[in-house]
Amino acid sequence: MKFHITPSGKKLVTLIPGDGIGPECVNATKMIIEATGAAIEWEERHAGASIFKKGLPSGVPPETIESLSKTRVALKGPLETPIGFGEKSANVTLRKLFETYANIRPVREMPGVVTPYSGRGIDLVVVRENVEDLYAGVEYMDTPGVATALKLISQKGCEKIVRLAFEFARSAGRKKVHCATKSNIMKFTEGMLKRAFESISKEYPEVESQHIIVDNCAHQLVKTPEQFDVLVMTNMNGDILSDLTSALVGGLGFAPSANLGSDVAIFEAVHGSAPKYAGKNVINPTAVLLSGVMLLRHLGEFEAAGKIENAVMVTLESGVRTRDIDKNNPVSTTAFTDAIIKNLGKKSDKWKVREYKPIQMPQVSLSPDYVKAKSRKVIGADIFVESPLGPDALGKDMEQISNGTALALKIISNRGTKVYPSMGTITDCIDQYRCRFFARSMDKELTDVDIAELSKRIGSKHRWVTIEKLQDFDGAPSFTKSQGED
C-alpha cells in the first residue's frame, strides 16, 4: 500500500475527530503519537453527526473522501447517526466506499484491569469480514407482515478474509487460526467461508487451522477463551463475537480495531460516541489510542507503536486509571493522557510487546465474475407469492395454473418448511409462500420466457413477490431443500 509523503518527509494521515467523546479520545491519541516523534502529519476532516445535520444523507462529505483517497489511511473517532438525520451509518459508508473488507480486533488481558477472567492470559484477535453478509443492508418487506434480508456472501470475499487472517497470523507471530461459521445450517453462504478456509489453510502449513461451529465458539469463548489465537468469521458473526471477546478483558473501552482494504486502512475504536460523557473529561481513550498503535504499525512506525503500548501498560500498572476502571480514585482523560506521555520509554515487567512484521495484503483478481462455471443449466424456479390461502388451497391452484407450461409444481414451503403436499404436520403459516417449480423435461434448459410465462399466469390470480432461478453449476444444484423436501 502506498502512502502520501509530505514535503517534510512525513506520512500524511486523515484525522476524523468524530462525535460525542470522539474528539477527546482522538486528541489524546494525537498528543501521545506526536510525543513519540513518529513521522506523522495530520489532515483533519469530518464525518458523522455534524455532516448529517447539514443535509448530506451519507454523513461523509466530498472533502473527506478526497482526503482518504489521497492519504489512504485514517484515524477516526466514533461517529453518530442522529435520530432524524441520515439514512445509513457513516461508519459503514466509509468502510464500503473504500472496500476495507477486513476488520481486525485484538483482545488481550491488560494489567490493572480486573475481570472474572484475570490471570487467564487471554490474547486473541478477531478477523471479521467487513462489507458483505447481512450488512450489505439489502432488505425488503415482501408482505405487510413479512420482512426478508439478503445474506450476500461471495467466493472472492471469503478468500480475501481467510487469506488476510493467515497473513495477519504470520505478521504477528501467531500459531493458530480458527474459522467460526454456521455452515451446518447455511450450507451455501456460511459454508462458502468454511470451504475457502479449508482450501487456503493448506498454503500456510506453519499455522494450525481448525473449523468450529459459531455457537460452540461463543460457548468456548466464555468457558476457555485462552485457547483461541486468531478467529476469522463472516460479518455478523464477527460483529457479535468481537463484542463478546472485548467484554472478557474489560469492555469496549479497551477494544481497538483496524479496517483494512487493499488500498485504504481506517483505524478506530469499537465503542460508540457516548454523547452523555462528551466534554466531561472523564472518558477512557485507550481503545482509540490502541487503534492508533495499530495505525503506526501499519505505517511501519514499529518503534513508536511499541513505546506507546508499553507506556499504556506501565500507566495502568501504576494505578493511574479512568472512571470506567477505578470508580474510587479515577483520573481525568487529560491526566491519563499526561501519565502515558510521561511513561514513554518505560517498559512493563509483566507485558510483552509482540514482534510485528508488515502484513502482506492478499492480491485477488478485480474481475466481477471471479468464479466461472464450466457448465450451467436453469432447471426450475422458486416463485415467492403473497397469499392469504392455506397450503392445500394454494397448492391445488398452483398446479392448475402451471398446467400447460414448461414447469410443474414440486412443493410449496413456508418459512423454509414444506407445507404442500401436506406431511400431516402442524405449521403456523405466514402469508409468504415459496412455490418451487421444476422443468417438466430435464432434457432441455428452461428459458427466461418459460419462467416469465409462468409468472404471468400466477400474477393473474396471486401477488408474486420475487423469483429465484434454480440452477445447476458444474452439475451440482445451486439451491438448498426445504425442511421435509425429498
Instruction: Note the pLDDT of residue 83.
Output: 67
Per-residue pLDDT, averaged over 216-234, amounts to 98
Cell of 161: 478474509
* Grid cell for residue 332: 481525568
The whole-angstrom separation of Cα 346 and Cα 168 is 27
Measure Cα distances from 432 to 149, 320, 412, 429, 466 in Å: 14, 58, 10, 8, 10
Q: Strands 73-76 and 265-269, how do they pair? A: parallel
Neighbour count for residue 238 (Cβ, 10 Å): 25
pLDDT digits (tens, 9 = 90+) for 97-135: 999 999 999 999 998 889 999 999 999 999 999 999 998
Residue 151 has pLDDT above 90, yes or no: yes
pLDDT of residue 87: 64
pLDDT band at 382 (very low <50, low <70, confident <90, very high): very high
pTM: 0.92
pLDDT of residue 351: 86
Residue 81 has what pLDDT? 73
DSSP conformation letters of 249-273: TT-GGG-EEEEE-SS-EEEEESS--
Q: Is the pLDDT of residue 46 over 80?
A: yes
For the chain, what percent of residues have pLDDT higher than 90? 84
Q: What is the mean pLDDT of the chain?
A: 94
Domains of the chain: 376-477 (3.30.70.1570)
Tens-place pLDDT, residues 50-75: 899 888 888 999 999 999 999 999 99
DSSP H helices, 320-386, are 333-342
Q: Which residues share a beta bridge with 208?
A: 176
Crossing angle for the helix pair 333-342 and 302-317, to the nearest 10 degrees: 120
